[in-house]
Structures are given as structure tokens and as C-alpha cells.
Amino acid sequence: MLYFSLSAFAAAVTLSIVTYASTRAYLLNQRSEAATTQAINNAQVLQALVATNPADAGDIVTNIRTEKGGFAVLHLVADDLFFAQEPLRFTQSNLPTELVTKTLQGSSHRQRFEFGGEPYEALGISIKSIGAHYFEAFPLNDVERTLNTIRTTLTFGILLITIAGGVFGLSSSNSVLRPLRRVANVATDIASGGLDVRLEDERDPELALLASSFNNMVDAVQSRIQRETRFASDVSHELRSPITALATAVDVLQSRRDDLSKRNQQAFDIIASQVRRFDRTVLDLLELSRLDAGAGKTQEESVNLADLVKRVAQRHGFGDVSFVTTLNNEDQTVLDKRRVERVVLNLLENARDHAGGATAISVTGDQKMLRIVVEDAGAGVAVSERERIFERFARGTASRNSTGSGLGLAIVQEHARALGGKAWVEDNSNGGARFIVSLTRQNPHETNGDL
């Protein structure tokens, strides 16, 4: 809208300036031609009358016919006298000095000037046959009034054109940008995971082609993602059976480990650790596949989050970690206990495997959000890695040589999003990492009301 308004304003100003300048030049030229014709006629009349009765020059000038508001002055060279048509109002002293001087030097001349605050144009004509000079001043009030009217009209025209340009620009930009806004909104929804969103059909052929191409692109992307998800799920599922068999075999051989030589024991330990790592990776891949497929979203119930987190820590061998909460015993929220347990367990195992163990667990909340915080005794996470470590198969600098799958924090992030929150990491006061998971609070009575 601003662009159209400025463009319309610039065009209107340019056109108005050209129009005003052309009109002004035309009107002044017309006025000058009429004034010149009248002055020459009056000079010819004076020439005839003064030549016959030079002693009556003063009376002749007084009776000369000029325009209303105009004035005349006659100069006789022989006596060096000036005779004004209205000596009490207008004399040669009121004429421009340059005009009088050049005319007295024997050449005709014209000049615009102001007298009494009004615009005039004066002509000086040399009448050599009688040794005289004739001056006549013509008022330009009518021309000035006309120009003022034109100037006012053009100013209003500029304002109207600018407003009209802005309105037209707004209307045009809305009609042009509305489809683009719809594309942007749909693209945002798709980027947020809504792959089922599509653009509506458009009437305009060009926009219809854009919508069709965009929808085809999203279909292709969705199909590819689904194929990749199914592939990862199928591969993980197919690997589950042989890995289970390998893990069982490792457990059987574990009882005969002491019968092996020291070198074979080392080889067996490597095999056992890699099988466990492989088993953990496959389990994590299966879980991520289920998350990508949107499975398990209906297992919600009313719980006390602080009590749930504390019981999860104790059940999985982290009962000695310091636990603090600001929630009271009656604080209830509706959530998926399985997801919360997976989040807490992954954070505690991440701290144990990569950061020297967890040092504190805390659960806090307000009217809208709940937070689970796990602090560790590690070296912390570099600022440049704080977002990347939540990506799949990503590892921080401190855990490059660990045996983890690189999927634990990615699973935490996916579960956090499913719970209406997110996960991030900060530094704690002891120099280690502080992992925070936010969850959207959903009160039990609100859920019942929705049902």
C-alpha cells in the first residue's frame, strides 16, 4: 500500500507541476499579448493627440482609456516632464527603475512588478515622432486568482490520487498476496508436522497451477517420509529377532566367561557391549518410528507429576539423586505417564552415561506449564551444540566416545512435543548441564469438561 501511495503521489505531483507551469505560462503570455496590443493602441492615440496639442499632454494622459486598476504615465523628452494618469495614486516613481531607465534610453521594454501588494505588468514604449515615452501598467489580479484556483485544485487532486492509489494498492496487494499468505500458512503447518494440510483449489488459472504444484510437492514429500518411516520401522522390527537371539546367546556365554582366556574374555566383552548397544539402538529406532507414526497418544490419566517423577527415578535405580519439587501433594494434571517415564529415564541415563551422573532432579510448575529438570556433574554442553544434541544420532563433544545410540535426547524432544512442550539444555551452577523439559498443564476438570 505504501509503495502504491508513494508512486501515485510522485506521479500526481509531477503531472501537477507540469500542468501548473504550462497553464501559468499560457495565461501570462495571453495577458502580455493583450496588454501589449492595448499599450500600442494607446501610444498611437497619444502620438496623434499630443502632436496636435502638446500643451494639453497632461489632460490627454488623464483621459486615456486603460484597464480597471491599470495606470498610464507619459514622459515628454523636451521638457523632461512626467504626466501621470492618476498622480495622486500612481506616478513614474512607482514603476520599476530598470523599466524606466531602459525605455528612456530609447528602447521599448516590459517588466512584471508589485504595487500595493498586487501583481502588475508594465510596458514602456518610445514614441520618437513626438519625443515622448509612454508607460502603461496592467493588473494581473485575474491571472493570479485563476492560478490560485488551479493550484488549489491540483493540490486536492494530488491528495485524492494519493489516497486512491493507496486504496487501489491495498486492494491489489490483498488480491495478489492473499494466495501467497495461504501458501505461507500451509507451509508453516506442514513444517510443524501437519503433512495432511493442502491448499484449496483456486479459480485463477495461474494460482490453480501453483496450488496444484504445491499440493503435488507435499504429496511427494509425505509419501517419501512415510516410506522412510516404514522402512526404518521395518528394518528395526526385522533386526529385533536376530538381536534378541544374539543377546540371549551372550547371556548364555556370560556364565562361561571365566572358562575363557584373558584375550578371549576381552573379545567377548567387546561383543557383549556392542550387542547391548545394537539392541538399545534398535529399541530406540522402534520407539521413534512409533512416535513418527503418532502411536500411543491416548494413554492419559490424572497424576501428580512430582510423585510420578520421583517413583520413576527410584524404580530405575536413581533413588539416591536429590529430588526437589514446588508442587503440593494435591496438584494433579492429565498426561501420558508412559511418555513422562521415558523422558525422565532417558535424561537420567544420559547423565549417567555421558556426564558423571545426575546430581539433582526438580519438578516445578505454574498455571500453564510444568517443568522437569535434571542436572548432572559433567562438563556442560557447548552453546553451539545445545540445539544439535536433540537431533537424531547427534552426539555432543563430551559423549563422542560413549556407547549410546545418539537417539536418547531426540526421543526426549519428541515426547516433550507430544506433551505440548519442548526440551532444552542450560548450564547449572556447578558447571554441568541442566536439562529442562516443559509440559503443558492440563487440569483434570478441564479434560472432563471436554469429554
Phi, psi of 233 (to 5 degrees): -65, -45
More reliable by pLDDT, 141 or 238: 141
Q: Are 394 and 341 in contact (CB under 8 A)?
A: no
Please tell me the total count of domains within the chain.
3
* Same-domain check for residues 14 and 35: yes
Q: Which DSSP category does 199 fall into? A: P
CATH number, residue 308: 3.30.565.10
Confidence (pTM):
0.49
What CATH number does the domain containing 125 carry? 3.30.450.20
Lowest pLDDT segment from 6-10, 224-228, 249-253, 433-437 = 224-228
- Which stretches of 192-332 are assigned E, i.e. beta strand? 300-303, 322-325
**pLDDT for 236 beyond 70:** no
Residues 315 and 421 both lie in one domain: yes
> Has residue 46 got a pLDDT over 50?
yes
* Owning domain of residue 24: 2-147
Burial tier of 215 (Cβ tally within 10 Å: 0-12, 13-18, 19+): middle
Give 345-373 pLDDT, tens digit per residue. 989 988 888 888 899 999 998 888 999 99
Residue 412 is assigned to a structural domain of this protein: yes
**pLDDT of res. 235:** 65
Is residue 439 helix, strand or coil?
strand
CA distance 358 to 344: 11
Residue from 268, 263, 267 nearest 249 by CA: 268
Give the mean model confidence (pLDDT) for residues 140-161. Answer: 88
Crossing angle of helices 408-418 and 262-292, rounded to 10°: 20
Please give the pLDDT value at position 450.
Answer: 42
